[in-house]
Amino acid sequence: MQHERNAAHIDVVSQRTPRSLTGTALAFDLPEEARALRTERPWHENGHNARTLLKHEGFRLVLVALKPGKRVQEHMTYEHVAVHALNGRLRITLPNDVVELAANGLLGLDRSVPHDIEALEESDLLIWLSWSED
């Protein structure tokens, strides 16, 4: 589907419904959210896709879908991070360790720990980012 803005042609990457990222109570059907990620262009073209589900001051929650062999390249955040494998199997490479997470596995990381996430199987994961504003 294509849309026009200011007479310029742009390609739509996804058909996501705009919605609030903040609120008193936001509920999600995670399997449906992951299914929706797999219908979008980035999944088909790159083998991965992501969507921020929650965005509060000092807290983010991101849902990521990865095809086997695809990665969230090594990065380091200045926030506390938790990686929750919803399904599939992940390999998380740390400076001095390698951790494999199966479905329902959870790994918590302190601030400033470089890490690389690789899907060993088709996987969905939640990345929780939390920090203090001080």
Domains within the chain, CATH numbers bracketed: 6-14+27-130 (2.60.120.10)
State how far the Cα of 88 lies from the Cα of 101, in Å rounded to an integer.
8
pLDDT digits (tens, 9 = 90+) for 86-120: 999 999 999 999 999 999 999 999 988 999 999 99
Collect all residues with Cβ–Cβ distance below 8 Å to 60 and sequence separation of at least 6.
Answer: 52, 54, 79, 127, 128, 129, 130
Structure-token pair, residue 24 = 């008193």
What pLDDT band is residue 24 in, cutting at 50, 70 and 90?
confident
7: left (phi over 0), alpha (psi -120 to 50) or beta: left
Tokens for 33?
A: 């959210």
Per-residue pLDDT band at 84 (split at 50, 70, 90): very high
Question: Which residues are CB-contacts of 79 (< 8 A; sequence separation ≥ 6)?
Answer: 60, 111, 129, 130, 131
Average pLDDT over residues 18-46: 89
